[in-house]
Amino acid sequence: HITDGQGRKVDFKNTVVIMTSNIGAEYIGIGGTSFGTPPSKERLLKFIDKFNEMARIYVEDYGFKALTYHNHVKEFRKIEGRTIMEWLIEGLEKRYTGFVLDSLWAHLGGENVCELIDAMGERVVCVHLKDLDPAHVYNLENGRKLGTMPKLIEVGEGNMKFKSIIKTAEKYGCR
């Protein structure tokens, strides 16, 4: 362990929060989590509760606008007939949370990206744009597209519909 000048143990658990808030960031977030293999409702609900608890702290105690969740393809697997993303949209507290929507992973998860943005509304604080090689081969799981690692190409050269994605995101004030 590391100690300060007075011999006390130094706790680095808030280092990122302090550094992030000092540079003027409005949002802080995570890049996903595991819900188990296969995903379980119990783990998902436990995550939602903990995320909401942490989001309240980041907003109320540290002054951030929201704690954000950045999706990957796993959020489009289903638990009890609903995607994990649907559970997150419904379960995460609107006042304290937001989403960094990864458009490519949503697309690979079988989602209509614009409809997903509409479902998130003003909680979409950022849309992560990536483009996909049109020759990408999809794996199918339960009738939904779940991709192997996609071949990314220059934005605008692939099969993502960026004009409509950007227009939909702007409708909700997304920058």
Higher pLDDT, 128 or 13: 128
Across residues 27-34, what is the average pLDDT? Answer: 87
Has residue 135 got a pLDDT over 70? yes
Higher pLDDT, 79 or 149: 79
Q: Choose among 121, 62, 70, 57: nearest CA to 94.
A: 121
Query: What 3-state DSSP class applies to 157?
Result: coil
Strands (E), 10-132: 27-30, 66-70, 78-79, 82-83, 97-102, 124-128, 131-132
* Confidence tier at 68 by pLDDT (50, 70, 90): very high
Q: Which range has highest mean pLDDT (8-12, 33-37, 67-71, 109-113)?
A: 67-71
Residue at 35: amino acid letter: F
Residue written as token pair 């949370």: 97
Looking at residue 49, its pLDDT comes to 96
Across residues 72-81, what is the average pLDDT? Answer: 92
Whole-number Å distance between alpha carbons of 148 and 86: 22
